[in-house]
Structure 1
């Protein structure tokens, strides 16, 4: 009996020790450093070291750089990129200049090429009427991506995003994407992600070939004018379940390749809405929505972090008269600073 009691007591102590270590491990996993990123808007001129001070001040540790390609219209299957007429920060020379400055401050980088369609047409709907047009577009897109893949490898960029909100392209031309990923991995040794729009993230199968599941996280959360924190959390429930399941299915972390809100009433009804005709401001809602997203996602081990949309180079950007996405010089900036500090080494 004494032996049995001794064995049972030690077994219990052993189980308690294992449980304690497991709990510590889970807490460590949940609270390890996240991608505390910003999406840096390119400018006409070069980036300067003083432009980085506000980024560092909010405890950001990562920056998304966005070299743009343009299409004259959806009927013309050719991308225009890295030309003299583009802003300096949108082409290869400007991207490389920015990389060198960001590296000096130990900021990690995601290269995130974007396509801009004239008149602001949505890239997710992009399609062509003939095989010849698709082939022409694919050749142009591959040239565009390989340029920035090689630049990313040259400068040891941590993450390369191979496309942004291109659902119809990805869904219609799977063989092209498989081959593109193989070709990119031949010249680039970092992590790969693709940025899919919030409503299509669980409708593609590209994730198995990549290192992260990338989501531009403009999920509709509430139709109320200015929902409370609890109402915002409730709005996230079904989306969070979907994202965690997606992560589990592919055994990949989710990263919000874009996230953010405008500082306006009803900003959580259609968070993607960039209509410039909207007037008025609601800075408290923007700040409140960001607080909730950090508490709901940055604490999760299956979640890698994200890049807030969007951050301008100039210190005077944003402000209390501004109702656009930028959090700069608004109450939201303090929320970002507070929560980014919690999730950095």
Structure 2
């Protein structure tokens, strides 16, 4: 085992990415060390690199890994050297994805052989946003998702409307598929029109093209905005976009007293662009003016492990089985090229910044192919 290995780091707000040599950590207890072959560049990487969001540079980027187990700790029970794995790893430097080797507990990894034939690139696009979708729907909305799903399961919220703003996003697609699996039928989405056919297949009852304008009013009309009693017309609203102007303002028109609005953080006040420093808010309640009684919360996926069952099973069992059972299908992806590790990471970040890809994840190779 080499003492160090290369990692992609952000060294300052808006500064070019760099390659740093970082310590290679041997696994302890139930940890494994994997050789990272594929990773995903996400909006969070852009927020951290261009906006310095919640990081203290130099900071290793990335949270989705797929690769091969090289070493295992003495307390591992499930994974062995040679296993092909994928997972959402984020907590410490040794776990972050944009580096050659990652050391992490085996509970944070799914086994590729348990996914029913999906390849490693399809697996890596599942990790972080599958976890985000599951955590949001169960923690922030309080939905029950028993696993395995019992025969004849009927959700308590069967008759409640659910709105997903940004249904074409990765999180939106996984949320839709999970809701369909568990029997929810009254799900509305906003998305660009070219996503509508897929989103209907994933379970959307009605799709709204946010580019047409007047979206909030059209949604209220669709669900009969005259209400009785204390029940909000749309009790559950998920904002997968997190833009103060583009999503939160229209959602604030729709959300009535006692509705829960869950927002993927951060709230974007000014979006990243070439030569533009982004601006963010982390307090959802203060981002816009909400109607009295609306519960607006920021989604914090990193805390999903506070649930002991999910900590032990969400990535190691549920995630690969959800792929194998057909509960979800992976997002589409675009493979980003480059002559070396730094160039691939930089190219992926540039594509995020320019917003030239919609509805697909940006994946790139970390380790060079073995010859």
Task: Give the TM-score normalised by the residue count of structure 1.
Answer: 0.28
| Structure number with higher helix proportion | 1
| Structure number with higher strand proportion | 2
Task: Give the TM-score normalised by the residue count of structure 2.
Answer: 0.27
Q: Which structure has the bigger radius of gyration?
A: 1
